Amino acid sequence: MPDREAETLITWLKERPGVEIITRDRSGTYADAARRGAPQATQVSDRFLLLVNLQTALIRLFERKHDLLKQLVAQEHVGPAPLAEAPATTISTPLAEPKPLPLKQVQQQARRARRQDRYEEVIQLHEQGASQVAIATLLGLHRDTVRRYLAAPAFPEIVRAKRSSKLDPYKDYLHQRWAAGQHNITHLIAEIRAQGYRGSATIVHGYLRSQHSQSGWMEAYQQQKQRKAQGTSASPLSAREAAWLFVCNPRKLTLRQVWQLEPLRIQDEVLARAYQLTQDFRAMVVNRQVEVLHRWLQETQESGIAELRSFAAGISRDYDAVRAALTTEYSNGQTEGQVNRLKLIKRQAYGRAQFDLLRLRVLHRSGPTNQQKCA
């Protein structure tokens, strides 16, 4: 089309009376134009753009809470409070500083805590009389998971069977030789190969280093990784970064992002409520839980958070299109992918090419491969 005016779209739609489905963003101009140009068509709000609009509302919220973002960073870098001096007659024994947990173990503990939280939510909803199907829908879990939680007498731990290794029969021998002073791993590999070992040399290197390489530089390296994972930057999160943490699936966050998110959720009641509503909305859109939409709108209006109430009011005005997004399979995904590809091709020319050349490049690169990538 030559422009983005509503009248142009209305004319275009009236010339095509067979249009049945219109997927669009939440622009009021396009919504009105689609309603006037194709009153018979069903309008569908794009699910991805719904989440983008929610993130925009959260950005406004965090811009209002900018002082809190700076305050949290200041708290991270304040040293521990000085200890009161002990009486002269008291002999104090210095305690050894606890070693930081390995990053892998910290991640395992975080995953276990999230599983336990979901387990407790399932039990609580079950005690309130909710059915297994309703619990699975509300929490975004598989019904088999809900059934397994309810059948377990207590929180079910994940127990993984210990994996066997080709090196297992030779580990005692390696420890004996190492204790005897043979620290040349190449010689040790040759010795166990003579005894029948047929595994990789990499396995032996990795095992011996993990068992016996506890030098100071390794410990310092692990501590440096721990500090990096916790985040030692003195700059506060931007409103956009904080909003992204709120919208993102918590299961896909890195450990550092989890540590950045937790203070926001814990130290401010408004943000804690906003995070709960945000995650409820994300799960509703991703899992297409249309039965949750009315309840979510009501809870958001009662939350008192101006930015989210404004977003919910817009959803209410566009209720039919949003509801269609949660009940149909249509979306702007293919269109958004093609637009992104078009912009990439255009920017590769750095403004030096005319429209005719841009058109040829787009058509030349429009094959099944590109279409599949955008789909």
pLDDT at 20: 93
The reply to whether 264 and 297 lie within a common domain is yes
The reply to whether 319 and 245 lie within a common domain is yes
Residue 159: inside a domain, yes or no? no
Check if the beta carbon of residue 229 is closer than 8 Å to that of residue 261.
no
pLDDT at 237: 84
| Cα 230 to Cα 67: distance, rounded to the nearest angstrom | 21
Residue 177: inside a domain, yes or no? yes
pLDDT at 263: 87
Residue 35: inside a domain, yes or no? no
pLDDT at 349: 78
Among the candidates 151, 184, 204, a domain finishes at 151
Among the candidates 310, 327, 344, a domain finishes at 327
pLDDT at 219: 56
The reply to whether 241 and 314 lie within a common domain is yes
The reply to whether 307 and 281 lie within a common domain is yes
The reply to whether 264 and 302 lie within a common domain is yes
The reply to whether 130 and 185 lie within a common domain is no
pLDDT at 90: 46
Residue 137: inside a domain, yes or no? yes
- Name residues whose C-beta falls within 8 Å of residue 228's C-beta, 6 or more positions apart in sequence: 256
- Name residues whose C-beta falls within 8 Å of residue 357's C-beta, 6 or more positions apart in sequence: 349
Compute how many other C-beta atoms are within 10 angstroms of the C-beta atom of residue 264.
Answer: 21
Residue 185: inside a domain, yes or no? yes
The reply to whether 313 and 352 lie within a common domain is no
Provide the domain count of the chain: 4
Residue 367: inside a domain, yes or no? yes
Reported in sequence order, the residue ranges of 241-326 that DSSP labels E, i.e. its strands, are none
Residue 142: inside a domain, yes or no? yes
pLDDT at 373: 45
Per-residue pLDDT of the chain (375 residues; tens, 9 = 90+): 788 888 999 999 999 989 999 998 877 888 889 999 999 999 999 998 899 999 999 999 999 888 888 787 656 544 444 444 444 444 444 555 555 666 667 777 888 888 888 899 899 888 888 888 888 888 888 888 898 899 888 888 877 666 778 888 888 888 888 888 787 888 888 999 898 888 888 888 887 876 655 444 445 545 555 655 555 445 778 889 999 999 999 888 888 888 888 888 888 899 999 999 999 999 999 999 999 999 999 999 999 999 999 999 999 999 999 999 999 999 888 888 888 888 888 888 776 778 888 888 888 865 555 444 444
Domain that holds residue 280: 48-65+234-327
The reply to whether 134 and 215 lie within a common domain is no
The reply to whether 174 and 117 lie within a common domain is no
The reply to whether 137 and 192 lie within a common domain is no
Residue 161: inside a domain, yes or no? no
Q: Which residues pair with 45 in a beta bridge?
A: 24
The reply to whether 238 and 323 lie within a common domain is yes
Among the candidates 229, 249, 277, a domain finishes at 229
Establish how many alpha carbons lie within 13 A of residue 100's alpha carbon, considering only the half-sphere containing its beta carbon: 17
The reply to whether 316 and 242 lie within a common domain is yes
pLDDT at 224: 55
Check if the beta carbon of residue 147 is closer than 8 Å to that of residue 132.
yes
| Cα 40 to Cα 134: distance, rounded to the nearest angstrom | 34
